[in-house]
A and B are shown apart, each in its own frame.
Chain A
Amino acid sequence: RKEVEQDPGPFNVPEGATVAFNCTYSNSASQSFFWYRQDCRKEPKLLMSVYSSGNEDGRFTAQLNRASQYISLLIRDSKLSDSATYLCVVNIGTNAGKSTFGDGTTLTVKP
Chain B
Amino acid sequence: GAGVSQSPSNKVTEKGKDVELRCDPISGHTALYWYRQSLGQGLEFLIYFQGNSAPDKSGLPSDRFSAERTGGSVSTLTIQRTQQEDSAVYLCASSSNRRSSPLHFGNGTRLTVT
Contacts and interface: CB of A to CB of B under 8 A. Distances in A.
B114 interface: no
Contact of B42 (A45, A49, A97, A103): A103
Nearest to B4: A43
Given A45-B105, A46-B103, A96 B98 contact: yes
A61 interface: no
B107 interface: yes
Interface residues of B: mostly helix, strand, loop or mixed?
loop
Nearest to A31: B99
Interface residues of B, number: 27
Interface residues of A: mostly helix, strand, loop or mixed?
strand
Contacts, number: 60
B56 interface: yes
Contacts of B93: 99
A96 B103 CA distance: 10
The number of chain A residues touching the other chain, given as a range, is 20 to 34
A44 interface: yes
A108 to B, nearest CB: 14
A94 interface: yes
Interface of A: 31-32, 34, 36, 43-46, 49, 87, 89, 91, 94-104
27 contacts: A32-B99, A32-B101, A43-B107, A44-B91, A46-B102, A46-B103, A46-B104, A49-B100, A49-B102, A87-B42, A91-B99, A91-B100, A94-B99, A95-B97, A95-B99, A96-B31, A96-B50, A96-B96, A96-B98, A96-B99, A98-B48, A101-B35, A101-B42, A101-B45, A102-B42, A103-B41, A104-B42
